[in-house]
Structure 1
Amino acid sequence: MLTLGIVLIAHCIFDFYLQSTGMAVQKETDNKVLVLHCVIYCVGISLVVNAIYEIGCLQNLIIFGVLIASHYFMDGPARLYLCKGGRSPIARFAIDQIAHVLILTALDFFLLFCARTRGFTVELIQVHSVELAWTGSFVAVCRPAGIAVSKMLESARGQNSDEKGDTVHSGKWIGIFERLIAVALSLLAQYSAIAFVFTAKSIARFKEIENNQGFAEVYLLGTLASVVFAMGSALLFSYLFSLC
């Protein structure tokens, strides 16, 4: 599980932080942009895997080939198929990410099985398991969780949203900071303190919540989604790095 945790951190970095919003939009219509993203992602994951397992050139080529073929298929033909199927944005996002994680999980278990026959150990990872758990949790709840929450709210808001301009921009950063605080409190096992963070946020929006039922529902959905992603990320990486 320790090595899988590092691979998932790498996935978040190379699939989200090293893929701009413009690239994410352009790759749907421009095959060159899609290929560039796949190459960046697969080179990054291959380097991380190689650093963990110290595998040979042939194994590296096989891993790179599997990664780039699967990633290209999921971000290309599979994405187009899901769009034509009329599925909601959050459903398409969830299916895409679950497929990526399943492939990485299968790859990691296969490499771990092969490596253990040569006396492979994870002592260095165990030494830094606490730091890695915090890093993974923070990496997951910023851009990846932010995109997931925005896709959940996209259909809920519809055409009724009056949040524009600076409000949208500030709302995005408020969401990031609230998830970071919730993750930190979860990792410190201070779960009751999380309620105070979201109570303070609700007080600031009290009038809007009271006067606009549509806004109240969207606000509640976004808040609950942020809590779930934050606490879920903390629990997941704590488990992967054997902290719980």
Structure 2
Amino acid sequence: MILFVKLLLAHLLGDFIWQPGSWVTDKETKKHKSIYLYIHIILHGILAAILAGEIRFIPYAILIAVTHGIIDLIKLNFQKKKNKRTWFVVDQIAHILVLIGVVLLYENKNIPPFWQENVFWIYLTGILLLTKPTSIFIKTIISIWAPESKLNNQDNSLVAAGNYIGILERLFVFGFILTNHFEAIGFLLAAKSIFRFGDLKEAKDRKLTEYVLIGTLISFGIAILAGLLVQMLLQLS
């Protein structure tokens, strides 16, 4: 575990702390022709080797540097302005997965329980269920109660912000259930209520308040049920 922490620290230093904005701009403009791309790659290898603190880790540090460069090149060649955020997330996830793989390879450890086939598919299905499918389900169910202000979208909220907030809150609840932190669900619900209270009070729309409350309770209810169901399936698998 400590090796992964050290490699993660090396990644954070190389990708964020010690990578100036000018390097990023140059890489996005020149792609594989940018000298800063290769400096960036070498820096990651050096940081990984130094923080690992073992001579025999050097080949693994080189592996980290090479895979980091490949992942960055893929991102630089495929990302566009409209999907830049998506590629940023994919890029970071890929780097973290490489670090996990290197640690497992270096320490000759067996695949952890999460990555066992049955467990993986149960987790993946549960997580995906709580994203867009649940959003569509909730939207469809409560659409008959949608107030006029909601239908006309007469507010100053960010585009699709409510949808993303709902997905995030369900994933948080899902995580709390699986880690047996049920009390955190109450804290999350209270926090959302506090933030929502001012908006609903100013709107002075009872139908809108009821609409939001129904949607929130359905969202939390589905997340709790999904978490409990996944726990049950994990025990049976």
- Which TM-score tier does this pair reach, normalised by the shorter chain? 0.3 to 0.5
TM-score (norm 1): 0.43
Report the structure number with the largest CA radius of gyration: 2
Question: What TM-score, normalized by structure 2, do the two folds share?
Answer: 0.44
